Structure 1
Amino acid sequence: MHTTYVCLWRAGTHHRIIARVMLAIPFLRRRKRKPPVEGPRLFTFKELSKATKSFSDGAIVGSGGFGMVYKGTLSPSGAVVAVKRLKNRCGYWEKVLFAEASTVWRIRHPNLVRLQGWCDEKRQLLLVYDFMSNGSLDEWLFPCRRRNPADPKYKRFGPEFEALLPWSSRVSILAGVAAALEYLHVGWTQCVLHRDVKSSNVMLDAEMKPHLGDFGLARLTDHQKPAKTTKAAGTLSYMAPELPYTNKATKESDVYSFGILVLEVVCGKRPVNMYVEGFDEDFVLRHIVWRAHNSGDVLSAVDPTLLANVESSDERTRMKLLLHLGLWCCLPDPETRPPMKVVMQVITSQPGKNPLSTDLMPTLPSSRPKGRYPTSGMGGL
């Protein structure tokens, strides 16, 4: 650990950022009974430039407001990595990438994207991650058959990218993301609020195993002081309805986002469909599922193509169970949402093999409930 400390101080020109990351190290020394966690490796700009072929357009595998993500091959090991490159060192995105680096390197879980290291050189800030060869979950849920074959993502995945994501894979992916969130909420030294759970932040490796990533908005809180949370943030279509009023993120707001993800994965539909003409409830997935639930035919909310590929009665029962779970996670009152431990029990239960306890799942309201918040502007969301 001491070696890493010295190495980081010697390299890089922006000591202010490096000093912040080093503040994260002392907590490891206090955990005397556990072996120290190896710190992030410091890469040089030269080796990352070589790995990505001078950050060529052909190496781009993703993008965002911060900049680009490149696929790179390290020399001489041949290890394939993902390199996140900050577009320009403006205050906001620099802060976001620092937050991501200082949070994710300390937390290790099989279903979290692993940070290998970083580079702070030549006025460039870069983060280096394990490469996820199957991209993000949203790219598999919505392959967009009208995509131009010249699209880099189409080239990256090939013809199999057009295949329907199997039901068994969907369940496995949800279980993996739930395991990651449960660990973040209760399994680590502090409670980690992700604040941006969504399908595009779920990365899939070569075996289609899910890894929750993008910790730029994540915040740490003490387990004993859950009330001391942080401001609202995230993606609007996954955001809990109380956040505009409370302005505080909580474990329950993460659970809400996960509930939207469950509905998205099970139904094969986006949380908000911006291509629906007019303004009605058909453009919000949560409303569609509630309406189907109220009619007594919740499976009618599922994409017909996906439903046709799930013939087993046990698996259709599981599909109903997961839709029920998604609605439960999305209840407007945060206190009525299940903790991630219970969510895991529901997802991993198997009708006919290890069925769920009947007293675990609540009876949902007969009609879609509306939230009651301090002001009336958006209370019905």
Structure 2
Amino acid sequence: MLEAKCVLRLLFYGLHLAAVAVSGGGGDDEFVYSGFSGANLTLHGAAMVTPSGLLQLTDGAAVSKGHAFHPTPLHLRGGEKEAAAARSFSASFVFGIVPVTPGMGGHSLSLVVAPSRDLSTGTASSYLGFLNTTSNGSARNHIVAVELDTIQSPEFQDIDDNHVGLDVNSLVSVNASSAGYYDDRTGEFRNLTLVSGEAMQAWVDYDGDAARIDVTLAPVGTEKPRKPLVSASADLSSVITDVAYVGFSASTGRLSTRHYVLGCSFAVDEPAPAIDMATAQATLRELQTQVQGGLIAGVVALATVACVLLIVRRRYRYVELREDWEIEFGAHRLSYKVLFHATNGFKNKNLLGTGGFGTVYKGVLPTSGTGVAVKRVTHGCSIGYCRLKDELLLAYDYMPNGSVEQHLYGGGDALNWAQRFQIIKGVASGLLYLHEEWEQVVVHRDVKASNILLDGEMNARLGDFGLARLHDRDAELHTTVIAGTFGYIAPELALTGRASPLTDVFAFDAFLLEVTTGRRPVEEAMDGSSSRLMLVDWVFEHWRNESLLQVVDPRIELGDYDVGELSLALRGGVTLLASTG
């Protein structure tokens, strides 16, 4: 119902325009359309001229686009100036954006100056119908556009979801401002809502001498404000081609919207002609009767659609991206809504920690009561994951006993030898599976005490696979960037940058000595000098002096350990480090 009222309102303004479109009039480099009935436009996609003379660029379908161009090319370079210079030009147009769901519309209606009327390679949604993933940002586009955008696209640095932007070959605007205008009388800025369904007028003025472009916006019936909304220094001499076309592009995304142009004008080296707002009362009364009759006949259908759209709107915040491979592994998928509520909305009180790849929150799954740790990856898991827009969330078993590092150095409960030996065996078993038993070889690349997590029974879990790489068993892993933590990095990795299962084994050996001695792989000297104590060298020296038991962590009580196990761990660590290093 509301959408139909918005269309009716736009039709009212459209029928205040002259019934016949006038093209040319002032020469080959200007035109004016006061309504589009009988206009010889070049149309593409969803674009059409309605029986009442409105240019409709999109028809309310989701993920669609429409283009409409003045058919005659314009000469925008040369003239009385040097051939390479872009000429001054001005444009004006009256438009309206009508959302199917009140307040929720997208994506954009844009005035476009392009070297061709064919923008068929442009894609809908955030690319606004005239660019695509490969063309965006290319100087070969030779496109200048003014976008009236109702969706905020972070990938293009949009300032908000209701803005006017000036685009030169790229959807990252040269300059942009929230939609509105400056009141000539008070100087105050007055906001405008692009998806309000109200008719508005825009002016675009390029000064070739000053290499400056201004964009101004105002409600229909308001004189052009003296202060422009958006201004930018932009020399278009290297952008606009000599022969260019002027027209409109509009696109929608998941939210259905109709984009209308009610009239437009354009001129080179002079102000754009005025758009005729003469009243056509008889046609207006006839059209109002038809539209009102259609509203009565379609009120039930519109009410049904409104209910469906309301449900969609309520669920829109949880719409997730899904991958083709999920057919096989779909059982691990968790909804964003479930993880959002499990973590109390990712509140700070649920924050467990922050790392190089994101933040981790404690949560409880509402259906099963299972404790989970949810990682929000900034741009391996045994329970599940979620992907929403640009966010990736990983959910895995919550480890109530933290990491081994916390127990060794962070004030956690001291580990007895039985617990330490169990942890060593758990990590060794995990690496064996990754290196030898899975269908591909997985190289973790960051085995260390802080990445060994402990569950409620103090069983070890190898975590944080953010640096991990995998490869087929009959192929080599090719890496060029050194990854890992100082003290756990094998010498050959530091020299070649090539990771392998052996470099994981080196890190495990360092961890093995660390757990047994309670000391870090590399420590600053106690005497305040700049020298460092290398754990493996220290252990090896005691081994040579047959005093190996003196390196045992003093927090392990005497008689509380198996000498054979402890000796095996120390000798194994030193031997493996020597052989792998």
TM-score interval, normalised by the smaller of the two chains: 0.5 to 0.7
Of 441, 446, 463, the match for 1:191 = 441
Match of 1:6 in 2: none
For the Cα contact (< 8 Å) 1:12–1:120, is it kept in 2? Answer: no
Aligned counterparts, 1:274-353, within 5 A: 274=524, 276=526, 277-281=528-532, 283-306=533-556, 308-311=557-560, 315-331=562-578, 336-337=579-580
Q: CA 1:64–1:299 in 2, change beyond 3 Å: closer, same or farther?
A: same
Say yes or no: does 1:218 pair with 2:468: yes
Counterpart amino acid of 1:142? Y
Q: Relative to 1, partners in 2 of residues 1:211 and 1:224: Cα closer, same or farther, differing over 3 Å? A: same
Return the offset for 1:299.
Answer: 1.9
Contact 1:271 1:285 in 2 (8 A): yes
Aligned-partner Cα distance in 2 for 1:255–1:56: 38
- Normalized per residue, the structure richer in strand is 2
Query: What is the number of equivalent residue pairs in this alignment?
Result: 264
CA 62–164 in structure 1, closer or farther in 2 if over 3 Å, else same: same
Are 1:67 and 2:358 counterparts? yes
Are residues 1:142 and 2:398 paired?
A: no
Q: Distance in 2 between matches of 1:66 and 1:116?
A: 19
Between stretches 178-187 and 318-327, larger displacement belongs to 318-327
How far off is 1:79 after superposition?
A: 1.7
The answer as to 2:335 corresponding to 1:43 is: yes
The answer to whether structure 1 residue 81 and structure 2 residue 372 are counterparts is: yes
Query: What is the CA distance between 1:222 and its match in structure 2?
Result: 1.9
Q: Say if 1:115 and 1:130, in contact at 8 Å, map to a contact too.
A: yes
Q: Distance in 1 between matches of 2:330 and 2:339?
A: 21
Question: SS of the residue aligned with 1:118?
Answer: strand
- In structure 1, stretches of 5+ residues that fail to align are 1-9, 27-35, 89-93, 95-103, 105-113, 145-160, 338-370, 372-381
Q: Which amino acid aligns with 1:54?
A: G
Question: Residues 46-90 of structure 1: CA distance to partner in whole angstroms, max 9, x if unpaired?
Answer: 33222112212221112212221110012132221110013x4xx
Cα-Cα RMSD: 2.5
- Which has the higher Rg, Structure 1 or Structure 2? 2
| Corresponding residue number in structure 1 for 2:418 | 168
Residue 205 of structure 1 and its aligned partner are, at CA, apart by 0.7
**1:193/1:220 contact within 8 Å kept:** yes
**Separation in 2, partners of 1:11, 1:171:** 47
Contact 1:116 1:128 (8 Å CA) reproduced:
yes
Higher share of residues assigned helix: 1
* Partner SS state of residue 273, structure 1: strand
Quote the residue 1:58 is aligned against: 349
TM-score by length of 1: 0.64
* Deviation of the 1:143 alpha carbon: 3.2
Cα 1:209–1:70 shift into 2, 3 Å: same
SS in 2 for 1:238: coil
The answer to whether structure 1 residue 230 and structure 2 residue 522 are counterparts is no
Q: Which runs of 5+ in 2 are unaligned?
A: 1-315
Q: Percent identity?
A: 39
- Structure 1 residues 252 and 85, CA, compared in 2 at 3 Å: closer, same or farther? same
Determine the structure 1 residue equivalent to 2:384.
117
In 2, distance between residues paired with 1:228 and 1:178?
21
Q: Which amino acid aligns with 1:170?
A: R
Q: Is the 8 A contact 2:509 2:576 kept in 1?
A: yes
| Separation in 1, partners of 2:395, 2:431 | 22
Letter in 2 for 1:124: E
Q: Secondary structure at 1:78's aligned position in 2?
A: coil
- Supply the distance in 2 between the matched residues of 1:142 and 1:69 (Cα, whole angstroms): 21
Indicate if the aligned counterparts of 2:320 and 2:386 stay in contact, CA closer than 8 A.
no
Matched residues in 2 for 1:41 and 1:11: separation?
17
Deviation, structure 1 residue 295: 1.9
